Structure 1
Amino acid sequence: MKENEIDRILADLVAGEDISAEERQILESWKEASGGISRFGREIQEIASSGAKLHGRRKSACVFEQVEQIVRKQRRVRFVRHFSVAAGIALCLGLTAYFMLFPGRQTNESVQVVATSIIPGGARAELVLPRGEVVRLDTAAKVVLTADSVTPRVISDGNTLIYDAGEKGAQVEYHTIRVPRGGEYNLQLADGTKVYLNAGSSLRYPVRFTGKRREVTLSGEGYFEVAKDSTQPFVVRAGDVDVRVLGTAFNVNAYPEKETVATTLVEGRVQVNYKTGQQVIQPGMQLVYDKQNGKVDVSVVDTEVYTSWKDGYYYFKREALENIMDVLVRWYDLTVFYQNQDLKRLEFGGRLKRYDDINYLLKKMEETRDVEFVIKGNTITVKRKTD
């Protein structure tokens, strides 16, 4: 069982959402093995009761900090870690179900919607071949390309494009997979490396790897699970940054419009090369390269915040509204306007299922009484909420 699987199920349960029979069985098995969660439920409810007397951002800070104290205090007990993570997700400001779980104060306010048809993204992409041909990819399993002397057999299986290893030869073709805004797609390269591509991203790669290293070029965001091969290092080129690995799992965020390139390491070890130098980072660390001034910042992070998108949800932790909306713009294919620039700096935290209705998400953010959203078509206007 994956550690964050329990976190996600508990977060859904705390948020008052329905869970499947299979998830309920997983939860019951975990409770039997862990000794139950009741006493932590009482602690969390006490926090909620005290927080109900506060308002807006002061309440969010209070609730978040108290939950964090429980996490630190109980860190030594394994099953507390699971519940603490889920509780922290479920009780921090904005995207959470705090009001659903403890309805001490209800609100009749709702997201203003005018003829909206906003839907989440889905599995769609384009495969661009060397001579400019474009093959549209969808979830129907099919053979995209048959094998020949240059190109191995390529199939699209569900939401994943898979390359056979193929025969080694002197000539190598390069393909490009393009994922539009509102899309996602996965890729298994000829060496077995798995790549998860987020909305608005593209990857250029050889149909098979030859020479001294395996090299691909990324624009946008991708999560890589690299097949180990000590004789042939794997290199991701992302603008001014090269990430060199032997076999590991990591995320690279390198959208052209952003001022930074961020590499987040989940497991293994990577060396990040940039214009002014290079650094090796360890699991749980993130290196952020500033494209404007060449400065580098390395820090320890909660990797789930930066990789949860590939597992079907977003996890925001005290994140600026502008950064959250940038993520949603690519996934839901939106246009966003801000009535006041200072609204961009409002901080939110919580967990959002990647395929949820956006109205549910925005309503949860509106419950802070700091902001409101007006939706018209695929355009969202962000306004200061007035009492």
Structure 2
Amino acid sequence: MKKMHISQEHIIELIQEYQQGRISDSGVQKLQEWLKEDEANAEEFAKYLALFKESGALSNLDRLQKENAWLNISTSLSKTKKKSKVRKLHTWLPYAAAVVVLFTVGYFMIEQVRNDYDFEKDYNFAAISSIGSKKAVLTLENGQKVNLEENDKELITEADGTLIQKNADSELIYDNASSAKDRVIYNQIEIPRGGEYSLVLADGTKVWLNSESSLRYPVQFVGNKRIVELTGEAYFEVAHNSSKPFVIESHDMEIKVLGTSFNVSSYEDGEFIATTLVEGSVELSCLGNKELLKPGFQATVKKGDNRFKLEQVNTDLYTSWKDGVFRYKDQSLEEICHQLSRWYNVEFFFTDHKYREYRFTGAAKKNKSLNFTLDMIEKIADVKFAIKDDKIIVGKPE
């Protein structure tokens, strides 16, 4: 089973949606799949429970009955998931109980948390974070994985003879001079949290990949289309070829171009897919609906929907990450923390939903420590940050 890419924060949000009776069918499915896919996910719950316990939030935990919790959740789910769903849910009964326990404990914690953290203390956020860097894992056709951060080889040869090497800027370059084009061979590059990487495909198209992103692509483009598959965020400078359009597939979206520069954000744990066009022209297709995007505009579409929202934007706000700068204009603190968590490889926890909606305008260089960025946000956005164990707490002294 393919491993889900879903953040801890999003899991907690799904649990809260269930508790409030407003979880969607897709949300129920995500929880089911996440809890079933790996026993290690139960350990993730334990980490949060430990955090809650240290904040004095477990005073009522002994009164919680896991059996009753399971009865409530299974009864509710059976109303929307008929037939054999209950039998399948039974395999994750212990985890389902843990879900309800987690939310209930979290509820008590949220009520008390304002007094549990010293937001006036001088914290060293760099101690629990790390500045992102160029790193990625390349998977060849035969399944071999190459750690590009550690790989000192100047040359890799694919099965069709394609030469793969690094240039002076540590970009991956595909050279088709000696390759045979009798069949399609795919490579996949995956960028971890705290990483980024760029590569030049065989047709000359340049791609910058952001943290927690992956791209699957042919070593050589064969046929009348150049098709790649994206998860996460990437900036493309597509080499022009009027007879062979470049196509990006991501979830239900298809982006077709001839030669242009644009950004695509399509993370697994995100609700929307956003395409921001810098120059040129792109055709967007989603579940039967099509839209032509003009330079300086951004198109967003909700996953599972086909209605595009078009908006004229400052494209630098959505593309500056590839040049080493985070830029924000009236952006929510929740969105900012999502971006920072990927780059600095750290988790944020909000003490109150209202802080998620705080707006911030500014800019920060990616090579600065997290201390610098959070200090700047504190001065402008009227919010404070604290550390609890290995997580950054977002709130304010009350």
Question: Which residue is equivalent to 1:123?
Answer: 134
Unpaired segments ≥5 residues, structure 1: 1-107
Question: Which residue is equivalent to 1:164?
Answer: 175
Question: Which residue is equivalent to 1:346?
Answer: 358
| Aligned ranges 1:177-326 → 2 under 5 Å | 177-326=189-338
Offset of residue 290 of structure 1: 0.7
Q: Is the 8 A contact 1:245 1:269 kept in 2?
A: yes
Q: For the structure 1 residues 379 and 144, does the alpha-carbon distance in structure 2 shift closer, same or farther, using more than 3 Å as the test?
A: farther
Q: CA RMSD in A?
A: 2.0
Offset of residue 118 of structure 1: 1.7
Q: Deviations over 1:274-322 (max 9, x none)?
A: 0141011110011101114433101111000000000110100010000
1:328 aligns to what SS in structure 2? helix
Aligned length: 278
Offset of residue 371 of structure 1: 1.2
Offset of residue 111 of structure 1: 4.7
Offset of residue 168 of structure 1: 4.3
Question: Which residue is equivalent to 1:16?
Answer: none
Offset of residue 273 of structure 1: 0.7
Amino acid at match of 1:209: F
Question: Which residue is equivalent to 2:395?
Answer: 383
Question: Which residue is equivalent to 1:146?
Answer: 157
2:127 aligns to what SS in structure 1? coil
Question: Which residue is equivalent to 2:12?
Answer: none
Q: Is the 8 A contact 1:123 1:139 kept in 2?
A: no
Q: Is the 8 A contact 2:289 2:307 kept in 1?
A: no
Question: Which residue is equivalent to 2:73?
Answer: none
Q: For the structure 1 residues 177 and 219, does the alpha-carbon distance in structure 2 shift closer, same or farther, using more than 3 Å as the test?
A: same
2:317 aligns to what SS in structure 1? helix
Q: Is the 8 A contact 2:137 2:191 kept in 1?
A: yes
Q: Is the 8 A contact 2:128 2:346 kept in 1?
A: no
Question: Which residue is equivalent to 1:334?
Answer: 346
CA separation in 2, counterparts of 1:235 and 1:111?
A: 49
Q: Is the 8 A contact 1:215 1:237 kept in 2?
A: yes
Unpaired segments ≥5 residues, structure 2: 1-118
Q: Deviations over 1:17-49 (max 9, x none)?
A: xxxxxxxxxxxxxxxxxxxxxxxxxxxxxxxxx
Amino acid at match of 1:152: T
Q: Is the 8 A contact 2:183 2:222 kept in 1?
A: no
CA separation in 2, counterparts of 1:283 and 1:115?
A: 38
Offset of residue 110 of structure 1: 6.4
| Aligned ranges 1:7-46 → 2 under 5 Å | none
CA separation in 1, counterparts of 2:384 and 2:352?
A: 12
Identical positions, percent: 40
CA separation in 2, counterparts of 1:110 and 1:367?
A: 15
Q: For the structure 1 residues 147 and 130, does the alpha-carbon distance in structure 2 shift closer, same or farther, using more than 3 Å as the test?
A: closer
Q: Is the 8 A contact 2:289 2:306 kept in 1?
A: no
Q: For the structure 1 residues 114 and 311, does the alpha-carbon distance in structure 2 shift closer, same or farther, using more than 3 Å as the test?
A: closer
Superposition TM-score, scaled by structure 2 size: 0.67
Q: Is the 8 A contact 2:277 2:298 kept in 1?
A: yes
Offset of residue 109 of structure 1: 5.9
Q: For the structure 1 residues 369 and 162, does the alpha-carbon distance in structure 2 shift closer, same or farther, using more than 3 Å as the test?
A: closer
2:141 aligns to what SS in structure 1? coil
Q: For the structure 1 residues 192 and 141, does the alpha-carbon distance in structure 2 shift closer, same or farther, using more than 3 Å as the test?
A: farther
Q: Is the 8 A contact 2:125 2:371 kept in 1?
A: no
Q: Is the 8 A contact 1:116 1:376 kept in 2?
A: no
Amino acid at match of 1:237: E
Q: Is the 8 A contact 1:252 1:264 kept in 2?
A: yes
Q: Deviations over 1:122-161 (max 9, x none)?
A: 000000112221100028763341365x140001234311
Q: Is the 8 A contact 1:111 1:372 kept in 2?
A: no
| Aligned ranges 1:349-360 → 2 under 5 Å | 349-360=361-372
Question: Which residue is equivalent to 1:105?
Answer: none
**Does 2:123 match 1:112?**
yes
Question: Which residue is equivalent to 2:116?
Answer: none
Offset of residue 169 of structure 1: 1.9
1:112 aligns to what SS in structure 2? coil
CA separation in 2, counterparts of 1:114 and 1:352?
A: 16
Q: Deviations over 1:77-116 (max 9, x none)?
A: xxxxxxxxxxxxxxxxxxxxxxxxxxxxxxx966533782
Superposition TM-score, scaled by structure 1 size: 0.68
Name the structure, 1 or 2, with higher relative contact order (CA <8 Å, separation 6+). 1
CA separation in 2, counterparts of 1:224 and 1:141?
A: 26
